[in-house]
Amino acid sequence: MKALSDYENLSHEELRERIQAVRDAAGERLAVFAHYYVVDEVVEIADFVGDSLALAKRAADSKAEALLFCGVHFMLETADILANRPEKVAARGGKEMIVMAPDMTAGCPMADMITAEQANAWKDALSELVDFSEFTPVSYVNSSAATKAFCGENGGAICTSANAKKVLSDAFAQRPKALFMPDSRLGRTTALDLGIKPEEIVVWDPRVKKPYGGLDPEAIKRARVILWDGFCPTHQRFSANFIQNLRKETPDAQVWVHPESQRAIVELSDGYGSTSKLLEVVDKAPAGSTLAIGTEWKLVQRMQKEHPDKTIIWPGDDPKICPNMTKATLWKVAWVLENWLEGTPVNVVKTEPQYVESAYLALKSLLN
């Protein structure tokens, strides 16, 4: 097995050459995926770059025997579950896809804000006050396989920022009420856009030392949507003052943000959308436009490079990157790929078997 330390001091040129040598030798047996938020040099060598929804669908359809997924842990679990369904394995001649990470410590703080144990305790507490069968649990894809399995076991679904409105709408067609976890920001914005009244949306805070997440029992009984109070630290840094000043100084500027933003920021914006939607907005804006794009800073920088005819800014004073996405470096990619080619795969992500089937039941909402 090759040591990771052997790669740290190699130049980008040498790393790219070694990665390409692996790609040439592997052919269609290998695929490399990257999320939009990873660093540019990794994006450049990927077969496919996308947001969570697009990456999940591509993983489900991939015929590769090995997938290097440059993202964070929950994405790799999702890829493993979707790519290794029995029919997918049969199509590969009985071979399971090996899903590999550049760095096994690349996690998601939001995903860590709810565990399956907490979700089950939430269900038990709610069941003291309401009929839980009236609720459809919906989890953002930024969650562990175990939390996804909780949703599957309870007739629920998984959404991304790109399809949250459809998934939550389908949930209401199934049952009159919904739980939304772990992103309270995305959950609130989506519910409001579906016409749910503000007073019918409540937030369960797992951090308070009070019963029922600090909520009044009567408020729980009236609620149509109960949100788990989780959030993305990267998308909390946008500034209302910055946006208001921009409006005064550049009245024609457009402000678009990711729906993981706080509701006050969404309300100050011209629109919101998934990462793919934000890229589309920038692509379609005419030359000379000024756009404030509220998403991860590395992606905003990439937009700036790719659209020099437009002024693209981050709507705040302190640009924020996702530190976990930066862990997918070129030298780690080369290390993982060369070890795989030599038959000693490293950083393999395999979902715990007890969660696979239930998580898949919930994940099917991503494939429709």
Q: Looking at the 3D structure of the chain, how many domains does it have?
A: 3
The rounded mean pLDDT for the chain is 96
Half-sphere exposure (CA, 13 Å, Cβ side) for 122?
Answer: 30
| Per-residue model confidence (pLDDT) at position 253 | 97
Evaluate whether 31 touches 62 at the Cβ level (below 8 Å). Answer: yes
Does a structural domain hold residue 318?
no
CATH number at residue 267: 3.40.50.10800
Claim to verify: residue 181 and residue 264 sit in the same structural domain: no
Does a structural domain hold residue 17?
yes
How many CB atoms neighbour CB 250 within 10 A?
13
Q: Give the integer Cα–Cα distance in Å for 101 and 71.
A: 8
> Domain span at residue 179?
111-233
Does a structural domain hold residue 320?
no
- CA distances in angstroms from 126 to 57, 86, 281, listed in the order given: 34, 36, 41
Q: Give the integer Cα–Cα distance in Å for 100 and 345.
A: 8
Q: pLDDT by residue (tens digit) across 262-295?
A: 999 999 999 999 999 999 999 999 999 999 999 9
Domain end (from 233, 252, 274):
233
Does a structural domain hold residue 125?
yes
Share of the chain above pLDDT 90, in %: 97
Does a structural domain hold residue 54?
yes
Q: Which residues contact 163 (CB under 8 A, 6 or more apart)?
A: 53, 365, 366
Q: pLDDT by residue (tens digit) across 151-184?
A: 999 999 999 999 999 999 999 999 999 999 999 9
Q: Which residues contact 294 (CB under 8 A, 6 or more apart)?
A: 235, 238, 255, 256, 257, 258, 261, 265, 269, 314, 315, 316
Claim to verify: residue 299 and residue 197 sit in the same structural domain: no
Structure tokens of 1?
Answer: 């097995």
Claim to verify: residue 124 and residue 219 sit in the same structural domain: yes
Does a structural domain hold residue 362?
no
Evaluate whether 69 touches 98 at the Cβ level (below 8 Å). Answer: no
Does a structural domain hold residue 187?
yes
Q: Does residue 320 surpass a pLDDT of 80?
A: yes
Claim to verify: residue 173 and residue 74 sit in the same structural domain: no
Ranking 53-57, 102-106, 296-300, 312-316 by mean pLDDT, the lowest is: 53-57
Q: Does residue 368 surpass a pLDDT of 80?
A: no
Between helix 353-363 and helix 73-83 the angle, nearest 10°, is 80
Claim to verify: residue 283 and residue 217 sit in the same structural domain: no
Domain end (from 179, 204, 233):
233
| Per-residue model confidence (pLDDT) at position 53 | 83
| Per-residue model confidence (pLDDT) at position 205 | 98
Claim to verify: residue 245 and residue 291 sit in the same structural domain: yes
Claim to verify: residue 122 and residue 94 sit in the same structural domain: no
Evaluate whether 95 touches 57 at the Cβ level (below 8 Å). Answer: no
Claim to verify: residue 347 and residue 268 sit in the same structural domain: no
Q: pLDDT by residue (tens digit) across 24-46?
A: 999 999 999 999 999 999 999 99
Claim to verify: residue 125 and residue 227 sit in the same structural domain: yes
Claim to verify: residue 187 and residue 291 sit in the same structural domain: no
Q: Give the integer Cα–Cα distance in Å for 348 and 334.
A: 15
Claim to verify: residue 278 and residue 337 sit in the same structural domain: no
Domain end (from 214, 233, 252):
233
Does a structural domain hold residue 24?
yes
Claim to verify: residue 303 and residue 337 sit in the same structural domain: no
